[in-house]
Amino acid sequence: MIRSTKTWQAVALTAVATLALGACGTTDTGSSSGDGGDSGGDCNFKIAAMGALSGPNASIVVPSVDGAQLALDQWDGGDCTVELERFDTEGDPAKATPVATQIAGDESFIGVIGGAFSGETRATKTIYQDGGIPMISQSATATDLTQDDPVEVFHRLVPYDDYQGAAIAKYLLDEVGASKVFVIDNSEAYGEPLADRVEETLGDAMIQRDKTEVGQTDFAPTIAKMESAEPDAIMYGGYIAEAAPLLKQIRDAGITAPFIGGDGLYGADFGNAVGDAGEDAVVMCPCAPIEGDSTFAADFEEAYGGAPGAYAAEGFDAMTVFLKGLEDGARDRASMLEFVNGYTGDGLSKSIAFDENGDVPQDQVSYWAYKNVGGTLEPEVEVKPAE
């Protein structure tokens, strides 16, 4: 797939933070629409945000959408009126499909932030491709989304899971010193390939592999295998909804091996969900801590009453890319797609660019291990899997 190589320069944080409150940032299901014309046409558009805005995994998604709203609220749109419209898919591919059809069929939408999860993204990206509407995902990490079946409209601000699996394995080997890792996955589009990559990278340091199911609450068979294997570390590929009861049952069984999961566990409610059983559990995430001199954390807390959560910076960055496109004169999906394809600029989360598949360039790939301390995920160490 060939993408435009045109380069655009932008500085997401400094450019946005210095501007006054501007265009309408409310959720509106009204009938406003873009005219699909040239750069001189009306600038009246909507950006869609699609993901699990409710349910047990909402804490992984809601902060990123709030971050996108904050970027919009801080933008001075001039003659442009832009609205962010939220669509709750609960992360379910079956629920995401009609949402994508609705968005793609409404020409007032000029961009999509999402999908947030890999399964819903896999189910909808061809719908958005057919509609020609550019996507920027803040958190969908499955490798196959770009490496096996790429579509031109899809971009993401996080590296794919081949890198994340290698980062988790590197942490287990270098930081934990593990040699008998028990690897578990949730038999789903995100968790299974992530665990595959961990297994591949660990090699002989993996002692056993087991599978669970989405919605499972009783993990006695897995616990029994774990007791027999006597691992010195445990890795889980999946989401908070299943990780919480799994980890509690592991600790109730007297198994004290260090526990690490992927970014599917990186939510503000992880600490509450796992309780005391989750103390010192580690979550790997491609989301770097916010720079100390940034006003983003204070602005976010003032707007939403709490510190920025999972992928809040990536949501801010995704919205900023679309807004920069409008500033540059994009007035339809085709011109916005051309702009996004060639975008480069400094963002909150990283220096932003997209390679020929819409991925984060390899030299920008980095992860952070966050340790659960007293119910809060605190940054512990940066891990660069490509080293």
Instruction: Give the pLDDT confidence of 237-271 residue by residue, as tens digits.
Output: 999 999 999 999 999 999 999 999 999 999 888 99
Alpha-carbon separation of residue 255 from 113, 122, 216, 230, 252 (angstroms) = 40, 36, 20, 8, 7
- Give the span between the Cα atoms of 260 and 250, in whole angstroms: 13
pLDDT at residue number 269: 87
Q: H helices within the chain, ranges in order?
A: 12-17, 62-73, 93-104, 118-131, 144-147, 161-171, 191-202, 220-229, 240-252, 270-274, 296-304, 312-327, 333-341
As a whole number, mean pLDDT of residues 198-214 equals: 97
Q: Rounded to whole angstroms, what are the CA distances from 279 to 178, 201, 267, 295, 376?
A: 19, 26, 15, 30, 9
* Domains by residue range for the chain, with CATH: 12-159+290-356 (3.40.50.2300), 161-285+367-383 (3.40.50.2300)
What is the rounded distance in angstroms from the CA atom of residue 86 to the CA atom of residue 102?
12
Distances in Å between the Cα of 384 and the Cα atoms of 286, 288, 368, 369 are: 10, 12, 8, 11
**Cα(166)–Cα(182) distance, integer angstroms:** 16
pLDDT in the model for residue 386:
61
Sign of CA dihedral 236, 239, 245, 247: positive
Question: Does residue 197 or residue 17 have the better pLDDT?
Answer: 197
Residue 370 φ then ψ, to 5°: -110, 130
Report pLDDT digits (tens) over 333-372.
999 999 999 999 999 999 999 999 999 999 889 999 999 9
How does the average pLDDT of the chain come out, rounded? 89
Cα–Cα dist 338/325, whole Å: 9
**Taking a C-beta distance cutoff of 8 angstroms, is the pair 79, 43 a contact?**
yes
pTM attached to this predicted model: 0.80
In the structure encoding, which two tokens stand for residue 380, read together? Answer: 């512990």
6-53 residue pLDDT tens: 333 333 333 333 333 333 344 333 333 333 334 446 899 999 999 999
Q: pLDDT over 70 for what percent of the chain?
A: 88
Q: Which residues of 232-257 are buried (b: 16+ CB within 10 A; e: fewer)?
A: bbbbbbbbbbbbbbbbbbbbeeebeb
Determine whether 210 is exposed, middle or buried from the number of CB atoms within 10 Å of its CB (0-12, 13-18, 19+): middle
Confidence (pLDDT) at 311: 93
Please check whether residue 321 is in contact with residue 300, taking contact to mean a CB–CB distance below 8 angstroms.
Answer: no
φ/ψ bin of 204: left (φ > 0), alpha (ψ from -120 to 50), beta (otherwise)? alpha
Residue 288 is given by DSSP the state P
Q: Residue 272: what pLDDT?
A: 92
Query: What does the pLDDT read at residue 23?
Result: 35
pLDDT band of residue 149 (cuts 50, 70, 90) is confident
